[in-house]
Amino acid sequence: MYKVVSTEVIAPSVHRLVVEAPRVAAARRPGQFVIVRSSADAERIPLTIADADADAGTITLIVQAIGRGTREIAEVPSGGALRDVAGPLGEPTEIRRVGRVVCVGGGVGTAVLFPLAKALAEAGNEVTTIIGGRSEPFVILRRELAAFSKAVLTATEDGSLGVKGFVTAVLAEILADPARVPAAVYAVGPLPMMAAVAEQTRPMGIRTIVSLNPIMIDGTGMCGGCRVTVGGQTKFACVDGPEFDGHQVDFRELANRQGTYAEHECRLSNARGENRS
């Protein structure tokens, strides 16, 4: 069992949990994730290790409650426990000092972006962060990102914070200014957002890394659930990723595969009388 030391709601349906997991905290590197089960019969849910404190033996998870599995994790109270926290899993982010980088986060993708943006800044890169969401309450980790970013720029669909529109509009402004063009772009968020970012940077040949979130089951490369096509080759996001060259990812195939169980999940939750937001 893994004790939940503290919990906090940081945005509508988005919870931050600090969890005692000393071995994971000591071994984890930016970009890696864990697979969590809240109880013995719960689903296995992949979650990025948003932060870790090796001295305290804790990791931070940020979870958006969108279905049964994530809701059960989000509902564990402070002082409660998670049944399993398996990891660290996945390839760590390749952290290089390249100079100027732009990190783009959409919705809860910002939680996945946070550890790699922090590691890029610690490696001496100048990090500009662009984050967005539906409206101001959905834009997470602004203060935390500002601690190491040269600038944190925001976009919201309703214009309640920063630019009205998508994060890609803010990125377009940066890419149009020769004095601000980055050496690399990192993007994490909904698939259409990552695909759009990759298309923006492709003509300029800017190295663009995306973090993929296909359906995962075992997280060890055995089940094939997380299969993605990158550069025409089959990769397993759990062991070969989750980060890949955005210019090489087949986003259309990934979007089709992600929807595989949507109808089934919907039928199940309707049968349980759950309200899906």
Q: Which structure tokens are listed for 32?
A: 């890696």
CA distances from 14 to 30, 34, 112 (A): 21, 17, 13
Q: How many residues bind ligand FAD (CB under 6 A)?
A: 25
Give the number of residues written for the chain.
277
For ligand FAD, the binding residue among 11, 152, 216, 249 (CB under 6 A) is 216
For ligand FES, the binding residues in 220-239 under the rule CB under 6 A are: 221-226, 236, 238
Q: Which structure tokens are listed for 174?
A: 């940066």
Q: Which does 149 bind (CB under 5 to 8 A by kind): ligand FAD, ligand FES, none?
A: none
Picking from 224, 258, 228, 220, the residue whose alpha carbon sits closest to that of residue 245 is 228
For ligand FAD, the binding residue among 37, 68, 118, 235 (CB under 6 A) is 68
Phi, psi angles (nearest 5°) of residue 101: -130, 150
- Peptide linkage before 77 cis (omega within 30 of 0): no
The one-letter amino acid code at 224 reads G
| 260 membership: H or E segment, kind and range | none
For ligand FAD, the binding residue among 62, 171, 210, 249 (CB under 6 A) is 62
For ligand FES, the binding residue among 31, 219, 242, 246 (CB under 6 A) is 219
- Let me know the angle formed at the C-alpha of 262 by 256 and 137, rounded to the nearest 5 degrees: 95
Segment interacting with ligand FAD (CB under 6 A) among 65-73, 118-126, 142-150, 199-207: 65-73
Picking from 100, 46, 4, 9, the residue whose alpha carbon sits closest to that of residue 258 is 46
Q: CB nearer to ligand FES: give 160 or 258.
A: 258
For ligand FAD, the binding residue among 2, 33, 166, 186 (CB under 6 A) is 33
Q: Which does 105 bind (CB under 5 to 8 A by kind): ligand FAD, ligand FES, none?
A: none
Q: CB nearer to ligand FES: give 57 or 221.
A: 221
Q: Which structure tokens are listed for 46?
A: 């992949």
Q: Which residues bind ligand FAD (CB under 6 A)?
A: 33, 43, 45-48, 62-64, 66-70, 108, 111-112, 213-216, 242, 258, 262, 265
Q: Which residues bind ligand FES (CB under 6 A)?
A: 216-219, 221-226, 236, 238
